[in-house]
Structure 1
Amino acid sequence: MAEQKNPQAQPELSLSEQTRIRREKLTNLQAEGQNPFVITRFDWDATSQQIKDNFDAMEGKPVKVAGRLMSKRGMGKVSFCDLQDRDGRIQLYARQDEMDEEVYKKFKKFDIGDIVGVEGEAFRTQRGEMSVRAHNITLLSKSLLPLPEKFHGLQDKELRFRQRYVDLMVNPEVKKNFVIRSQFIKFMRNYLDNMGYMEVETPVLNTIAGGAAARPFITHHNTLDIDMYMRIATELPLKRLIVGGMDRVYEIGRIFRNEGMDPKHNPEFTTVEMYQAYADFHTMMDIAEGILAGAAKEINGSYQVEWMGEQIDLTPGWRRLTMVDAVKEYVGVDFGTITDDAEAVAAAKAVGVELADAAEKTWGNALYACFDQKVEEKLIQPTFITMYPVEVSPLTKRSPADPRLTERFELFICHSELANAYSELNDPIDQRQRFEKQVEQRERGDDETEMLDEDFLTAMEYGMPPTGGMGMGIDRCVMLLTGADTIREVILFPTMKPLDN
């Protein structure tokens, strides 16, 4: 029997009329004692992909499948439907004389979007399409709202992100991003576990927001009558564990920052932070490269990825470039030959980089501003930018060769930062002084600077070993691996502005 198309176009009903009809159908079913919502389980034994992958062995054999009806064709004595389950879609073939007459009659009233359980057998139609010949179809859940129009689907991005459940139903390719996300996190866990790291959990609510330069979300604990902060990083608790003797730790978790939203930023996002005693930032570079390159090869089968219109080569052996050398190469200013703050500020100004705050007019801030404004946008292929000024690295160990700089790197791919790592500062006296400078900035109105964490300083005074630490943005790593152009495509439920009532 060849697949049939509906010979006559049906008059288009309004959304409200379609909804009314579906509710009437439910009411009638319930009145007949056939309420689909009382069914508690359906023991399926195959998915659409399992049937297709093993069709030669399964052809003619009994199968039970379950999923959502995505289309209906025919509906005379022979009907064709597309059933969508967790793996994909498979065609259903239903013939009146091969089913109980009452079952087929009820099935004809099912709507697109209804969830059904099907008992039948795997077979191939005359056109060669792998299908399930239905012997019994059970309505497991009634869809009271119609799915988006067949040919245009759900294309409005705002609506897609607000109603991800519908997005996943009608745009099955969207699920691939989240499969890759899950695979990436699994790969990363295995990578770190195999290196002897231990996964831990640290508090989301804290009395001090520390570990990053960011504006926190503030809440209030009623019993203690104190304000508390959603964490902006996991760094300081994890370093406390290093002090306590847990030499290799990592945490994958949600971070919350009360900042703007754009294609690369969401107020809540996911990071992995890791700390390894007796290691430095070079160790962290190797780990970052190993995780991202290894994940690309295992998940996508290649070191080559396309992201934001660029062909990116993740083959190991990524470029490592100091910030001084990067500014010299891309901007033409050699801060390595400049020793005076005023000269550095003047050199920055000469290339169009202004430092407004008098307290920020230092060699280090001038170097960083030139990099931030003139270089970052030019970094396409994987590049580790190393040796950051101490002014912008309050938790990082100074360079023995130049105390104005720190042993820090950020990883840039396609002008996006994907990782940030240090040879961690373990001098409690130096750490206190840097915290105090951050407090001074905070008092001048910069509410994104570090708060002074006395307990963390106490921990450091007990002695912290030389340590390498790194944070990676999981969402951006997944964007890279999937080619997504916005972070909202890789977060299942991104933050959205409420709709006007």
Structure 2
Amino acid sequence: MAIEWRPSAEIETLKARARLLARVREFFAKRDVLEVETPTLGQGGSTDVHLASLSALTRTDKGLRRLWLQTSPEFHMKRLLAAGSGPIFQLARSFRDGEVGGRHNIEFTMLEWYRPAMTLPALIDETAALVNALMPGAPQVVKRYRYRSLFETHLAIDPFTAPLEALRHLAEQRGQMAPQSLADEPRETCLDLLMSVVIEPTLGRGEISAVVDYPASQAALARRHQDEEGEWVASRFELYVAGMELANGYDELTNPFEQRARFVEDNAERARQGLEPVDIDERLLAALEHGMPDGSGVALGIDRLIQLALGKARLEEVLAFSTPRC
């Protein structure tokens, strides 16, 4: 049986990809945002229950140590911010185990940037401007939607107050899952399924859609605030084009004590779900304790944006070698 050695993408596609990446660098150079490079390996990983971090046992000067392949360059970049870097961006190799499909690859490129003193609404506008810079034919209109309003419009439920059993039943029904398949799943799993199957495909159609005011439990490394109804929500957004999630932005949490508490709670939830714990990044927490400037940051799946810009059906078509061919 012949071994498939050829690249996943056509050579002309890779040339087009290189031109688009050059536009990214030009976009940030015009805005005086510094390009940085940070390690792919770190002494801590992402504790997020919804992410599967990869790790490696490495021989170091301190003996055999486990280091974590980064799910995004966030932790190292925040340490640079705390050291006084000012606004920064990075095109970083990132890794998430088990993420394979038409829009996913275990190894991928993340475009991440941080803007000290910039508000979240301003960062939404800048993210949309980047999309337009790489996709001249993309919609110019940016529309903002509250998470709660989307669920009320598309599913006739309030995601903050609906009983868990009702959410499980609706998620099984609309997600075309087997009866009782979500019987033991938590609230967030049901909401994520409904969001991805029912709501996301409607977003970014003839516009760039920005979703805001996610449940506070989905804040991760973002601040929280109270919405119009007095509900605590995450100070973050997600950006969609053509039914595809492209970016996830935060009003960044800078409190080291709250961040540590979230990491600990994540690992407790991982234990409840039978998942392996992930080492907490103590260097990030030390940087936050030193003092990181207030501001916003965003992570954008640049492979997905290139896929859209070049009109490709699958992510592997814009990667030199996708996971099955690496």
Q: TM-score range by the shorter chain?
A: 0.7 to 0.9
User: How far apart are the structure 1 equivalents of 2:233 and 2:82?
Assistant: 25
Q: Which residue of 2 aligns with 1:277?
A: 116
Secondary structure of the residue aligned to 1:225 is strand
For 1:250-261, list aligned pairs within 5 A: 250-261=89-100
Residues 1:483 and 2:311 aligned together: yes
Q: Which residue of 2 aligns with 1:492?
A: 320
Q: Which residue of 2 aligns with 1:379?
A: 203
1:357 deviation in Å? 4.3
Q: Alpha carbons of 1:391 and 1:409: their partners in 2 closer, same or farther (altered >3 Å)? A: same
Q: Alpha carbons of 1:448 and 1:239: their partners in 2 closer, same or farther (altered >3 Å)? A: farther
Q: Which residue of 2 aligns with 1:461?
A: 289
Question: 2:82–2:290: 8 Å Cα contact kept in structure 1?
Answer: yes
Match of 2:31 among 195, 212, 223: 195
1:456 deviation in Å? 1.5
User: How far apart are the structure 2 equivalents of 1:414 and 1:449?
Assistant: 36
Residues 1:207 and 2:43 aligned together: yes
Single out whichever of 268-277 and 444-453 deviates more from structure 2: 444-453
Q: Which residue of 2 aligns with 1:216?
A: 53
Q: Alpha carbons of 1:201 and 1:287: their partners in 2 closer, same or farther (altered >3 Å)? A: same
The residue type paired with residue 176 of structure 1 is E
Q: Which residue of 1 aligns with 2:152?
A: 328
For 1:280-299, list aligned pairs within 5 A: 280-297=119-136
Q: Alpha carbons of 1:176 and 1:214: their partners in 2 closer, same or farther (altered >3 Å)? A: same
Question: 2:45–2:280: 8 Å Cα contact kept in structure 1?
Answer: no
The gaps in structure 1 that reach 5 residues or longer are 1-157, 169-173, 298-302, 304-313
Question: 2:248–2:298: 8 Å Cα contact kept in structure 1?
Answer: yes
Residues 1:318 and 2:154 aligned together: no
1:424 deviation in Å? 0.8
Residues 1:351 and 2:175 aligned together: no
Give a deviation string over 1:248-290, Cα, whole Å, max 9, x none: 0111121122214211111111111101111232222112110
Q: Which residue of 2 aligns with 1:268?
A: 107
Q: Which residue of 1 aligns with 2:177?
A: none
Residues 1:225 and 2:64 aligned together: yes
1:188 deviation in Å? 1.2
The residue type paired with residue 222 of structure 1 is R
TM-score by length of 2: 0.85
Rg comparison, structure with higher value: 1
Question: 2:47–2:277: 8 Å Cα contact kept in structure 1?
Answer: no
Q: Which residue of 1 aligns with 2:298?
A: 470
Q: Which residue of 2 aligns with 1:429?
A: 257
Question: 2:79–2:287: 8 Å Cα contact kept in structure 1?
Answer: yes
For 1:50-449, list aligned pairs within 5 A: 159=4, 162-164=5-7, 174-210=10-46, 213-223=50-60, 224-297=63-136, 303=137, 314-335=138-159, 338=161, 343-353=162-172, 356-357=183-184, 360-361=186-187, 367-381=191-205, 382-401=208-227, 402=230, 404-445=232-273, 447=275
User: How far apart are the structure 1 equivalents of 2:13 and 2:183?
Assistant: 42
Give a deviation string over 1:308-356, Cα, whole Å, max 9, x none: xxxxxx23222211111111111111346x3xxxx43244245245854
The gaps in structure 2 that reach 5 residues or longer are 173-179
1:369 deviation in Å? 4.7
Give a deviation string over 1:60-90, Cα, whole Å, max 9, x none: xxxxxxxxxxxxxxxxxxxxxxxxxxxxxxx
User: How far apart are the structure 2 equivalents of 1:247 and 1:253?
Assistant: 18
User: How far apart are the structure 1 equivalents of 2:52 and 2:25?
Assistant: 29
Q: Alpha carbons of 1:325 and 1:448: their partners in 2 closer, same or farther (altered >3 Å)? A: farther
1:465 deviation in Å? 2.1
Secondary structure of the residue aligned to 2:222 is coil
Secondary structure of the residue aligned to 1:411 is strand
Question: 1:387–1:409: 8 Å Cα contact kept in structure 2?
Answer: yes
Question: 1:253–1:270: 8 Å Cα contact kept in structure 2?
Answer: yes
Secondary structure of the residue aligned to 1:259 is coil
Q: Which has the higher contact order (CA 8 A, sep 6+)?
A: 2
User: How far apart are the structure 2 equivalents of 1:441 and 1:225?
Assistant: 28
